[in-house]
Amino acid sequence: MKPTRRLRELGQSLWLDNINRELLDDGTLRRYAEDYSITGLTSNPSIFDGAIGDGDAYDAGIREKARAGKSGESLFVELALEDLRRAADLFRPVHDASDHVDGWVSMEVSPLLATDTAGSVEAARRIHRQAERANLFVKIPGTPEGIPAIEESIFSGVPINVTLLFSPEQYLAAAGAFLRGIERRLEAGLDPRVGSVASLFVSRWDVAVRDRVPAELRNRLGIAIALRTYRAYRELLASKRWRKLAAAGARPQRLLWASTGTKDPDASDTLYVEALVAPDTIDTLPEKTLHAFAERGTFTGAMAADGGDAEAVLARFAQAGIDVDALAVRLQQEGAQSFVKSWRRLLQRIADKSAALTSAR
């Protein structure tokens, strides 16, 4: 049995951390679903920047929309949603069969709204309405300003993928926003079944400390943080507060492992996938990582629900001078800044292509 299939049977979903038009047009995404048990996907500004810039697959669409008067963000959103609707339709059977737990795709609100609560809420509503797909998450960063936007969006019935989480504390803040949104829906007599996932970024921890710790600690911090967060996740699902909501029909906000591609060339390219095996979670894999794990991935069991050796490992990082609380804040801020940079580069690329394509005969 393929290792990807084994993960699926254990209760972990595998989602592709990529989307582009070629994957859809040539049937690759469908093959990933059939051969590698892929049951959803995520996108972000960096992914679309590469997809639109690295070829001509989007040129006809850009030309058509630009000549119709579209530009900037509105043009990009239409392009992106064309792809994401097709992907959502491909995963719709999984979505229906899993009672809406699985089979999702994701679309990001503008990263420029990371500190704009009201703007994020409105953008999430607009994107979800425009997408016209029940299995599309709108991604809102779990920044301090994003937390109230997440709560309000859940209350409004918009499914949310909380992105840019780096620590158990940030995860619990996002989970709290989800719970409050669901509780408000129940108080208002609304359906509590609003989907959500909370995305914890893993490998960026190890990139951040690579040159600051002894060799024996390299590539261990991200996994230790993930273990600590998984413990918090299991504790929340066992809490009286959550059990009350579940009894009323609410679905859990699943924990999602993001940034699971290995960045260290000296480390195994399946390092994080094998370490993050856990039921009731999602692992998002770049294509390179997906192929590597499908071909030679191995694992012996699931993560320890109690966090395993996370605290002992984190104590060693503290001894090495790593302040994980301060680093979590920095990583979230840097992640938000990185998405802004990608967003601006993406919009500039679209503007340049629009100008060139509309002036060409």
In the chain, where do the E strands start and end? 13-16, 38-41, 105-108, 136-141, 160-165, 196-201, 254-258, 281-285
Q: Does the annotation mark 341 as catalytic? A: no
Packing angle of the helix pair 72-97, 28-36 (nearest 10 deg): 30
Catalytic member of 139, 263, 288, 353: 139
Q: Give the whole-angstrom CA distance, residue 274 versus residue 72.
A: 40
Going by the DSSP 8-state scheme, the letter that residue 261 receives in this structure is S
Other CB atoms within a 10 A radius of the CB of residue 280 amount to 17
Contact 146, 171 (CB under 8 A): no
Signed CA dihedral, 260, 261, 264, 269: sign only = positive
**Cα dist from 204 to 112, 164, 263, whole Å:** 21, 11, 8
Tokens of 217: 């600690």
Q: Are strands 136-141 and 105-108 parallel, antiparallel or unpaired?
A: parallel
**For residue 140, which of 47, 234, 72, 44 has the smallest C-alpha distance?**
44
Half-sphere exposure of 56 (CA within 13 A, CB side): 4
**For residue 272, which of 291, 293, 247 has the smallest C-alpha distance?**
293
Q: Give the whole-angstrom CA distance, residue 345 versus residue 112.
A: 13
Active site residues: 139
